[in-house]
Amino acid sequence: MTTSTSLAIIALPMDLGAGRRGVDMGPSALRLAKLAATLQALGYQLKDLGNITVGVAEALEGGEEKLPYGVTIAKACQELYLTLSKLDRDTMPIILGGDHSISMGSVAGVAAQTPKGKLGVIWLDAHADLNTPESSPSGNIHGMPLAHLLGFGSEALRQIWGGGAVIEAQDLLYIGLRSVDPYEKSLIRHLGIESYTMSDIDQEGIPSIARKIISKFEGYDQVHLSFDADALDPSVAPGVGTPVAGGLSYREAHLLMELLARSGMVTSLDVVEVNPILDSKNRTAEVMVEMVASLFGRTIL
């Protein structure tokens, strides 16, 4: 569980980086699922900073560009970056998306707060999100945030934080991968990014992999967890834009959150890609709130 008792929720309700509409309503769904009340019941002081303003696709130009809506996405992510970089360091941010392109703002923002520049990132996702504009099969920016955070891709998007790389390959760890494009596979191998696929989870189990994660980030000043709802199996979280069969079970995901909570290592959090349009009775948002509760210390006994 985080050592901070003060939390801040901030949302970027954006679906411009995704191939399907609807994740812009994810923050509202998570709030409706009683995220704030759940965390307050665990003893946290919480403030909701509201939403970063972003346009909707129907009212914007740029959808047909090489980087669809790239200018608008960069502007919104930069606002998120600036907001987080000015946040009181004693307050732990929870960033609600929106599609996963928002992490260009969230990771850069918390990195700007890291006192010694040592930020670790856990990417909990079915996808690697490591494509560049040149390699991307779809052109959707939500499949590119990590490439840009590592210093690849479009200079225009890297200007969100002023250019260059935010993190190095050794600062990143994947868990839950099961849908990775050929370019991403080659880059993961080339950079030596530590990765735990669903096959690894099947073979080793969550407790073993959690111990490795905790060991890797021991000594880091801050650790950011970027949690994409599609890391979960679609039977658990149906309301996501890019579901992939064979994901984390309900208990596997809870156990991972519980073990990370015991370590006290996570200092900031993304919750992204909840799509109420594709959901049933807000089930996915409710499941994600339960996951957040476990990460923040809720236990069975």
pLDDT at 64: 66
Report which residue type is found at 134.
Answer: E
Decide if pLDDT at 1 tops 50: no
pLDDT, greater one: 68 or 1: 68
CA 279 to CA 197: how far, in whole Å? 25
pLDDT given at position 5: 81
Q: Give the confidence band of 63 by pLDDT, cuts at 50, 70, 90.
A: low
Tokens for 225, please give them: 């967890």
Active-site positions read: 100, 125, 127, 129, 142, 228, 230, 273
Query: What share of the chain has pLDDT > 90, as a percent?
Result: 88
pLDDT for residue 215 is more than 60: yes
Both structure tokens of 151? 């210093």
User: What is d(CA 210, CA 103) in angstroms, rounded to the nearest whole number?
Assistant: 23
Rounded to an integer, the average pLDDT of 129-142 is 94
Residue 228's DSSP bridge partners are 272
Closest CA to 273 of 152, 127, 69, 146: 127
What is the radius of gyration, based on Cα positions, of the chain?
17
Query: What one-letter code names the amino acid at 260?
Result: L
User: Residue 173: what pLDDT?
Assistant: 98
Q: How far apart are CA 292 and CA 286, in angstroms?
A: 10
Q: Return left, alpha or beta for 245; rule: phi > 0 is left, psi -120 to 50 is alpha, else beta.
A: beta
* pLDDT tens-digit series, residues 26-62: 999 999 999 999 999 999 999 999 999 998 877 777 7
Task: Specify the pLDDT at position 58.
Answer: 77
Count of alpha carbons within 13 angstroms of residue 252, beta-carbon side: 20
Residue 117 pLDDT: 67
Dist CA 290 CA 178 (whole Å): 23
Query: What is the residue-averaged pLDDT of the chain?
Result: 95
Q: Give the pLDDT mean for 274-281.
A: 97
Q: Which two tokens stand for residue 267?
A: 């200092």
Residue with tokens 């740029």: 62
123: β partners? 174, 226
How many residues does the structure list for the chain? 301
Over 90: is that where the pLDDT of 291 sits? yes
Whether pLDDT at 156 is above 50? yes
